[in-house]
Copies of this chain bind each other. A is one copy, B any other.
Amino acid sequence: MSTQLEQLFDKLWPINRSLTGDGNRASLKLLSETVDIEIKEVASGTQCYDWTVPAEWNIKEAWIKNGKGEKIVDFSINNLHILGYSIPYKGKVSYQELISHLYTLPQQPTLIPYRTSYYEKRWGFCLTQIAFDQLDPNDIYEVFIDSSLNENGSMTIGEAYIKGDSDEEILFSTYICHPSLAVNELSGPLVSSLIYQKIKQRPKNKYSYRFLFIPETIGSIYSLTQYGNFWKEKLVAGFVVTCVGHNAPFTYKKSRRGDSFVDRAAELVLMQDWEETQILDFFPGGSDERQYCSPGFNLPVGSLMRTMYGQYPEYHTSGDNKSLICFKTMEKTVEVYLEILQLIEANKKYVNKFPNGEPQLGKRGLYPTVSTPKKKNSQINAMMWLLNYSDGTNDLLSIIKKSNLHSSSILEALEVLTNAGILE
């Protein structure tokens, strides 16, 4: 499996992605090999609430040559060298003019920054501070950018859908607009594709599952125009899948609601099994969760990450590359996503049909017939919690939390009691 993930990573890595363009199409096509993705085109100019789908951007070649004709910055070497959405340009410029178009990281002189200018027309290059410092102020530079901005183009997005017993759905949203960045973002589509496969394999799903592979911000805002009102009624839980590349403790960022199923299930699973887990209250920064959780929708969408955006020094630089990624950890992350889903799917307000005193478990073979020694085993304990609190007002997640027992014990006891006709 990690081999599969790594191979997919290696294929996706060199492709130049952005809000729009052929790189996105190629990436979605590659992902289609494992996920049954429907690829959609949204025309440039499409209005999405307060936003407009931008012109489609493509780029073939871009470089800067010094006076000696040597290429000193070259997009063909690293996608990050070009300012995203740079307009076409060809010409000779002085040092002074050139540097007004250059972006560096003075504090991290060996790294190329990742920068874009989606919504204002300009051109620019990103380079290391070291390379910048070698520029000769007296030289004249030749700049060439063979890009295009097509107002009649489109934004390309991918969707996959697994139909469940109910049309209530669970959303996985991940983004595909960052070129050659590993943790943020390739880890997101990779983990999402693996979750897709696991769910697809299950014989039966209670809820339907929707996977979105979209550019950040404009992609999720567009999706809200399509599904936002439906989701207000039908979205059980959602995740923005991003920053799941590090071999590092989990960070879970809650939805704006703070107590939706996804928040409570994620907190339970992480707190019971994972030390050093960080549980963060919602804050209106970060990624697409701030669109899904905008006040007009306020959807139950959280984000389960390893090391979060902005919390590692290589974030949004050329340092965010394969060397940061642990493919084995991604698989473990997928397991945790599935554990959380299991709780969300099982969550309900069960009712104990024998609410007056406790039901006699012994006569049903569910309780030892010789009185037990001091410590009850945890399954009897789990049954007692379920029986006492299943009064139609407490849902499963709240009983697990109250009991301080492992969710797996409660799920087992739930099955036993449901099969015995005691809980319903």
Binding site for B on A (CB under 8 A): 48-51, 83-84, 103, 105, 113-120, 122, 124, 220-221, 224-225, 228, 256, 283-285, 290-291, 293-298, 310, 315-316, 352, 354-360, 362-363, 369-371, 373-376, 381, 384-385, 387-391, 403
Contact = CB atoms under 8 A, between A and B. Distances in A.
A83 to B, nearest CB: 7
B285 A49 contact: no
A116 B359 CA distance: 19
A355 B296 contact: yes
A359 B50 contact: yes
B374 A310 contact: yes
Given A294-B388, A388-B293, A391-B295, A50 B354 contact: yes
Contacts of A120: 362, 369-370
A358 B285 contact: no
Contacts of A403: 283
Contacts of A48: 357
Contacts of A115: 370-371
A363 B51 CA distance: 9
22 contacts: A49-B356, A50-B356, A50-B357, A50-B359, A51-B357, A114-B371, A115-B370, A115-B371, A116-B370, A116-B371, A119-B360, A119-B369, A122-B370, A221-B356, A221-B358, A228-B356, A283-B403, A284-B387, A290-B358, A293-B388, A294-B355, A315-B374
A388 B295 contact: yes
A54 to B, nearest CB: 11
Contact of A363 (B119, B124, B220, B362): B119
B388 A256 contact: yes
A388 B50 contact: no
A243 to B, nearest CB: 13
Contacts of A285: 376, 381, 384
Contacts of A114: 371
B388 A358 contact: no
A356 B292 CA distance: 9
B290 A388 contact: yes
A124 B369 CA distance: 13
A162 to B, nearest CB: 26
A296 B220 contact: no
Given A83-B370, A103-B370, A388-B290, A360 B295 contact: no
A373 B316 contact: yes
Given A362-B119, A384-B284, A295 B355 contact: yes
A233 to B, nearest CB: 16
Contacts of A388: 256, 284, 290, 293-295
Nearest to A376: B285
A48 B357 CA distance: 9
Contacts of A316: 371, 373-374
A63 B378 CA distance: 35
Contacts of A220: 357
Contacts of A354: 49-50
Contact of A49 (B357, B370, B387, B391): B357
Given A369-B117, A370-B117, A50 B389 contact: no
A284 B385 contact: yes
Contacts of A118: 371
B296 A357 contact: yes
Contacts of A221: 356-358
